[in-house]
Every structure is written in structure tokens, then in C-alpha cells.
């Protein structure tokens, strides 16, 4: 039985803020891209998350490379939000 590789990556506005993700999972392409940039190979990702297949990971990496600017913008936006929240939390937690 062959698999339509176009069916491996999906997105919908009601899941993961509309971000592209591996079908049937909550794993976003953005997460796969981050792991990839950290040096994890597809086989390592599958070992760490056995519900993923090599086909899933490779499809996500292909999507990342085809849409790199969009995915990188999402990563940058998340990092900026994290830094903003961290600054806000530190400001709140400092004694008066």
C-alpha cells in the first residue's frame, strides 16, 4: 500500500494555532525543525517519539526546507514571546 506523502503534513486553524503538523499527532513541523537545528537526526527523533515514523519526520523536514522563511518566522516569534514572558515574570517576582 502506498502513502500519499502530501497527506503526512496537515494544518487546521483549531489545532496548534494553525501551524503545520504531522498528521495524526500534535508534533508541529516547527518542533521538528528545532530538533533538526539542534542536531537531532530523523532516526533519533523516531527513537525519542516512537509514534512518529521516518516518513513523518522526513515529510516534516521537506516541508520545513520548502517553507523555511515561514517556519523560521514562527520560531522567532515564539522565542520573542518566551523572552517577553520571562522578563515579565522576573519583574513580578523581584522584591519591592
**Where do runs of H (alpha helix) occur along the chain?**
29-37, 42-48, 54-66, 68-93
Q: Is the Cβ–Cβ distance between 16 and 27 less than 8 Å?
A: no
Instruction: Provide the domain count of the chain.
Output: 1
Residue that has been written with the C-alpha cell 522576573 in this structure: 90
The range of the structural domain enclosing residue 66 comes to 5-93
Main-chain phi, psi angles of 57, to 5 degrees: -65, -45
Output DSSP code: residue 13. Answer: T
For position 27, what pLDDT does the model report? 95
CA 72 to chain centre: 10
The angle formed by the CA atoms of residues 54, 79 and 20, to the nearest 5 degrees, is 40
What pLDDT is stored for residue 5 in this prediction? 80
Q: Is residue 33 over pLDDT 60?
A: yes
pLDDT of residue 21: 94
Q: What is the mean pLDDT of residues 49-71?
A: 95
Of 20-24, 28-32, 56-60, 90-94, least confident by mean pLDDT is 90-94
Question: Mean pLDDT score of the chain, rounded to an integer?
Answer: 89
Kindly report the CATH number assigned to the domain that includes residue 77. 1.10.10.10
Amino acid at each position: 500500500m502506498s502513502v500519499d506523502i502530501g497527506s503526512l503534513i496537515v494544518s487546521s486553524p483549531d489545532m496548534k494555532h494553525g501551524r503545520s503538523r504531522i498528521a495524526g499527532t500534535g508534533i508541529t513541523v516547527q518542533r521538528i525543525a528545532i530538533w533538526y537545528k539542534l542536531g537531532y537526526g530523523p532516526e533519533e527523533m523516531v527513537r525519542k517519539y516512537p509514534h512518529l515514523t521516518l516518513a513523518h519526520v522526513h515529510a516534516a523536514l521537506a516541508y520545513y526546507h520548502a517553507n523555511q522563511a515561514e517556519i523560521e518566522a514562527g520560531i522567532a516569534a515564539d522565542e520573542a514571546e518566551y523572552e517577553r514572558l520571562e522578563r515579565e515574570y522576573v519583574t513580578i517576582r523581584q522584591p519591592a
